[in-house]
Structure 1
Amino acid sequence: MKRLLSVLALSAGVTLSGCSSLDSMNDTAVTDESIAVLEQAINEQTKDAEVAGDTVPQLLPPPIVPPLDIQTLGQASEERFDVIADGLSAHDFFMGLVQGTDYNMIVHRDIEGAVNLKLKNVTVEEVMQAMRKVYGYEYRREGKLYQVVPAKLQTEMFQLNYLDIQREGVSDTQVSAGSVRDSVSDSGSSSSDSSSDSSSSGSSSTLVGTRISTKTSANFWVNLKQTLDALISGDGRRVVVTPQTGMIIVRALPSELATVREYLERAELTLHRQVVIEAKILEITLSDKFQAGVNWATLGEPSAGKTITLNQVASSISADGLGGIFRSAFSLNDFTAVIELLGQQGDVQVLSSPRVSTVNNQKAVIKVGTDEFFVTAVETTTTTGTSTTTTPSVELTPFFSGIALDVTPQISGKGEIVLHIHPTVSEVEDQQKQINVGSDDFSIPLAFSSIRESDSIVRADSGQVIVIGGLMKSENSDQNESTPLLGDIPGVGNLFKQRRSVGSKTELVILLRPVLANNDSWQKELERSLQSFERLRADSVK
């Protein structure tokens, strides 16, 4: 197992390095060594899985008696019978239940009530469980002995493994056109009573814009305490939660303790669900034929039952409008094939290949870029005295340039994944703004930000590829050409020069593939990493 974990760390490290260039991995020796380690890990994991099914039975001595069918043995050991009770006292019912069987019964003297039931083909244990659920009679079992006790308050300790942390996350996407504010103030004073009054009025208006603010808050232990208090509220009940040790102490009735136990078991299963999210952030410089954007309809059509999630120009494309080649790329979950198909419509550049693992309902953030400080406010303070002193005060604010991706998954018990996805690609430059105030001119350095981002919630199955596109950008550049020597002649040189404006369009495409993290998925990830190294070695040999 230690060997497997080390190899998984190696595989994850190699994948995480996808944010940088692969030119540094041309060393054939390193590639061959990585392939050997991955092959050994896959073989060891396969052998470990086969030991329980094949090797262990061979190492054991031959059985003395023929093997017994477990289902038949269980039916033979647990006698089944019909039970009918009509107004029978609880004490007499329990004592008569084990009559003629191998079980023993002790009934507390405080057990009261009448029993009415009709059951067919049941065992003693099934009858006792039914009595607990319907009538609330609590019992304990020790081998062949049943003890029926009154339903009194009891104390039980539960263990729940979870981090003692509080997390808050905000994803903000805003499109604003600015705001306008008018302000008028009047002031007056009276010397007769040394009083002054002032009044001001103003109005503000915000131009039409759009804003999506997604907030997440995780304070698990506080929410758990509130939930348990609601489940077992009543006299004498109490819940004590110690997040540092993961211990939960509950004092309640046996039926309420059973409810708490079931709730905690299900909650722990939900909390520990984990997903691995692999992403490719691509920038496509569109060719002349596709200046309107990537034409997804020319890439293929998936077969019936396949789902492709697209978020392009605020609309989704039906799976019936795509052809066969596109289907194979997505059904195989192969990013390389998708990139090759997109390359038919322009030059594809992989900006980043982030990969992150996160548990259920927890935000994961990947950020690759730089933070640079820009001037956002300038104030001056003038002090007069024997000499006038002006002190400037500058406020600096960091602006991020690069790629950021935050993802929040919700994983159902059936393996369906709902993702909140917020990718951002930003570029920030410094620019000078000239502002005229009265007779004064001010030159203020400001940040010029170019942002491409989206905010969406999608549903996907494990291993399904999600596509987010339509984030386009136009760029214009001037190209100057001239005839050598003749273009440098003063006066007539312009006759031998040519100036033209060249425009280009780029589209940002984001591919995501969520995979549920379990034993099978780690095995598949090892195999995928091995295939990647083998392709890398084959390319280096060419």
Structure 2
Amino acid sequence: MGSSMRAFAGTVVAGLLFMVSQGVAATELEEIRAGSLSGDRVQVNLRFSETPPSDIRAFAIDSPPRIALDLPNVGNALPRRETDLNVGPVLRASTVEAGNRTRVVLNLTQASEYQTRVEGNNLILTLGRGVSEADARTQQVVDRAGEPAATTRSARPMEITGIDFRRGSEGEGRVEVDLSRSGAEINVREQAGRIEMTFPRAMVDESLERRLDVVDFATPVHTIDTIAERNRVRMEIEARGEYEIISYQSDRQFVLEVAPISEAERQARAREEEEYAGERLSLNFQDIEVRSVLQLLADFTDLNIVVSDTVGGNITLRLNNVPWDQALDIILRARGLDKRMDGNVLYVAPSEEIAARERLEMEAERDRQELEPLRTEFVQINFAQAEQIASLIRGGDGGEFLSERGSITIDTRTNTLLVQDTQSRIEDVRRLVSTLDVPVQQVLIETRIVIAEDTFNRELGARFGISATRGSDRRTSAGLSGSLEGSDSALGTSPGDMGGLAIGDRLNSSLPAGGNAGQAGLSILRSGVLLDLELSALQVEGRGEIISSPRVITANGQTATIKQGEEIPFQEATASGATSTQFIEAVLSTEVTPQITPNGNVILDIKVTKDEPSQRVILGVPGINKREVETQVFVGNGETVVLGGVYEIDSRTNLEKVPFFGDIPFLGNLFRNRSTENTKAELLIFVTPRVLD
């Protein structure tokens, strides 16, 4: 029985030792150093306490340039987290240990090709242009004897077995590449309308090494060139217009989608990107732990990050030149996570966990407020009315600024608020009052109403007559004067000489110009025949301009009205038969409501009226000539804008004549009266707002 107990105890001890060995990393990273090689190459040497593990994962980030090494089952024995190297493009190495795993990140000045190899207890990275594409980004494991071990699957050449192009339902172009195996390393870069896909350690059949012209598919993709190079395959895609690219790998097929985007979508995305101001980076990972990506972002941003124990799982992502804070949000949304920032500490947890924690904090805060003692304070209102401020504090449903136990009282005599609530709520009320109780800006609105009139009137007329008597002598005489009456006097004739005919009876045509016209009369007497001719002409020109300029000052958002004119009385009969006196306004008025915008401009709701009494009266009620404009206009401070205007032209031509005789050429002018009348009237309304300091 004793031997059985000893055997059992030995088994237990062996099991415990095995568990301890599994929980503690047997290999430790002891030193990192760097040195220069010929051909502008740099060698970085990582020394371990034992042979480094064979499943080391290495990956590169182009923007910013980084090379990261994941060392499973390796502890960190370095004295400092940051190791300055400063050799060639290598600046420093950052080392972090977490979860029985150590990550080493090399910070570079520029992206560089590299290779890794194991020699004894050392992991050696060689960087620089001298590194061949055949060895770039390839890991070889060397045993203690110095002989290379069997090549891993990731180092075996991959074959591209098919290349196809399709048009998606949304007009996107899909480049589909069939691979000989899954989990391939593929690099995608886009610049100036050219998309380049690189397949390291890959080969392609000569039948697929060609150009595909896909313009007829009506997608952003125009051509696809497949080029086989030494130990890699490169595909160049030419795209036109505005587009976005999405790439992903599903089993043994790699898909690149080039989707068109409209100008509106591009602007919307540009506005969304403006929300992110972090330094840009590129990430390309296949099935990597979420916690590792978060740790990488923390190293990149020098943020203190706290990740909840419930965060887990892996993620595959390819992000090219995006702000780090946008990349963080994308990763969190993809895994149902959320974040909270407290100073320089970033806390990441599942959304439900953060929501539950915040809900508990709100409940605790509500309980604290219910137990907090009430205080009473006076809040003086200086510029606004206390009733208006109180209504804002109370709100529509009892007030969100006051607690359930809070109250507010108004003293209209001193324009003061009496607030009773907890100290924190009273402070909220004071902050609100300090924001709202400020002097209101005022606006001076100057309106100019210009009425311009231009009149022109021309009238031509004639009086013409022939008279004859018998037995008169044959003498010839003539008289010329300003009128026919003056010509008779100059001629020495009288109505008796022509058989008692007055001038009006001697005229065959009497169509003179009206008004105070200029005129000339001519009378010729010969052998008892009297010829009377009088020409008259009148031309009237008139120009007038009326300028009205009402001005008014009002506060921002308040309506102001100014009037000037008269009220016209008139009698109106009532239902009982009596009469009453009513009034009609004929005034010049301006009614305006200004609104000052945050950038100092003014929005005006304005109504301008200029009414005048009309000469027309119907049933004792006088008419009103109305000129009115009502509009809303956006005006710069101090600028003048024309609200509107009316331009009228009244052109008339009148002709009076004696039938038949008035149509005779030249001679017909003696039997006509012609008048021409042109009237032009223009109404313009100007407004100028000025914000008063």
State the TM-score bracket (shorter-chain normalisation): 0.3 to 0.5
Larger radius of gyration: 2
Output the TM-score relative to the length of structure 2: 0.30
Q: Point out the structure with the larger helix share.
A: 1
Larger relative contact order, structure 1 or 2 (CA cutoff 8 Å, min sep 6): 1
Normalized per residue, which structure has more strand? 2
